[in-house]
Structures are given as C-alpha cells and as structure tokens.
C-alpha cells in the first residue's frame, strides 16, 4: 500500500480540521466553498427573487446548492433559474439545470447558450480553475484562459447592470484582467472571503453594474 506524501498528509490534516469543512458537513452542504459565496453575495445583497444565475465550474455543487436554497427562500413563487456547468459530473440538485462538459469547447458553450435561450442573465459566477500542477508558469496561463472565456460569456449574455463574480489567481495577467473588468463594469472590488485559505493565491473579483458599452 502506497504511503501518502508529507504534503498530502498535511493537506488532509488541514482539511479535516478546517471549521468550514466541519460546518458544511453539519449543515448538509456539498462544499465549504458555499461559505465563500454566502459571504460575497450577502455583503452586497446580490440575489433578487426570480434571477437567472449561471454557475461556471460548479462541481461538486456547493455554490449551486446554496444559490437554489437562497432563491427559494427569497420567494418560492419566483424561483428563478440556476444553470450550472462543469467538466466534472456531479449528482443532481433539485431545481438546478446542470450541463456536463468542458467550457473551453465550442460545442459545450453552444449548449450553455441554448439553455440560456436568449434570456438576459442577471448573475454570472465563475469558480473555475484548471487542474493545478504546482508550476505557476503552467497553471496561471491556464487559469487566465478560463477567466477570459468567462468574461466573454458575461459580455454576451449578462444583462446591462448585471453582476459578474469570478475567482482569480494573483500573478501574471491579473492586473490586466482587472483593468478589463473596470472597462466593462461600473464597480469592481477584489475580495478575499474568510473561507478562502490564507495561503491560497485565490481572490474574487466582484464586477457590478455591467455597462451598456465598454469605456
């Protein structure tokens, strides 16, 4: 039987002692990441009854699960829609429309656009990340490519005055990406929710008030 590396053992110890992992398990949530979204959404009161939300990089479903619950709580008569997509499969969630596929492929993107059906999207979320190799020169360009695709999707489908929330990794290309967001949105904030691990280079860019035309 293979023994785990020291780094793997350290990650497992950190994971199972993490208060957000324990809380998610106790509350029946699929992922501790739900608490990142909860903090980001509630701080700026981003959810409204009847919203159409697209969740990119959704598996294992923590964000979609929390969103569906919150939208139902806000107004069960106006449940809105949660459309989730990921390259990894995930067990179904009642009231969540899931698409399995690679967002980088035109066919999968077309499937998502068909599902949206020409309706203006109120909120686009992206928690997408590539499989990390630990080599920044490889990982950061892959992550930035996904971020650019998510921005393009929001350009085409997010309604004017809509909101775009995306996970970014600090490093090469980060400042240029944020600059592009500022051309497109009235307000852009960089946030680090409490549930994000301190050593992680991830941050979240919250872009609010999509402009009718880029400046």
Residue 209 burial class via C-beta count within 10 angstroms: exposed 0-12, middle 13-18, buried 19 and up = middle
In order of 76, 92, 160, 205, the CA distances from 187 in angstroms are: 30, 34, 13, 10
Identified catalytic residue from 167, 192, 198, 210: 167
Helix or strand or coil: residue 8? helix
Closest CA to 37 of 82, 78, 80, 102: 82
Report the binding-site residues for S-adenosyl-L-methionine: 61, 63, 86, 102, 127
Report the binding-site residues: 61, 63, 86, 102, 127
Alpha helices in the chain (DSSP H): 6-17, 19-27, 33-44, 62-74, 106-116, 136-157, 174-184
Residue 167 appears among annotated catalytic residues? yes
HSE of 74, CA atoms in CB hemisphere, 13 A: 17
DSSP 3: P
Q: What are phi and psi of 5, to 5 degrees?
A: -70, 160
Active site residues: 167
């Amino acid at each position: 039987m293979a023994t785990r590396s020291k780094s793997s053992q350290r990650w497992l110890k950190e994971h199972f002692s993490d208060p957000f992992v324990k809380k998610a398990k106790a509350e029946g949530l699929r992922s501790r990441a739900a608490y990142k979204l909860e903090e980001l959404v509630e701080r700026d009161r981003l959810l409204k009854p009847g919203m159409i939300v697209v969740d990119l990089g959704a598996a294992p479903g923590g964000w979609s699960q929390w969103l569906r619950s919150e939208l139902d709580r806000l107004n069960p008569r106006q449940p809105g829609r949660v459309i989730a997509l990921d390259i990894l499969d995930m067990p179904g969630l009642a009231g969540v429309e899931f698409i399995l596929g690679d967002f980088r492929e035109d066919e999968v993107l077309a499937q998502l656009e068909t599902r949206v059906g020409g309706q203006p999207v109120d909120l686009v979320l992206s928690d997408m990340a590539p499989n990390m190799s630990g080599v920044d020169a490889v990982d950061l360009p892959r992550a930035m490519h996904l971020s650019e695709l998510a921005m393009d999707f929001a350009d085409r489908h997010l309604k004017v005055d809509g909101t775009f929330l995306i996970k970014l990794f600090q490093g090469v290309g980060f400042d240029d990406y944020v600059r592009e967001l500022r051309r497109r949105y009235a307000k852009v904030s960089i946030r680090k929710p409490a549930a994000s691990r301190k050593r992680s280079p991830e941050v979240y860019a919250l872009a609010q008030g999509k402009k009718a035309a880029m400046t």
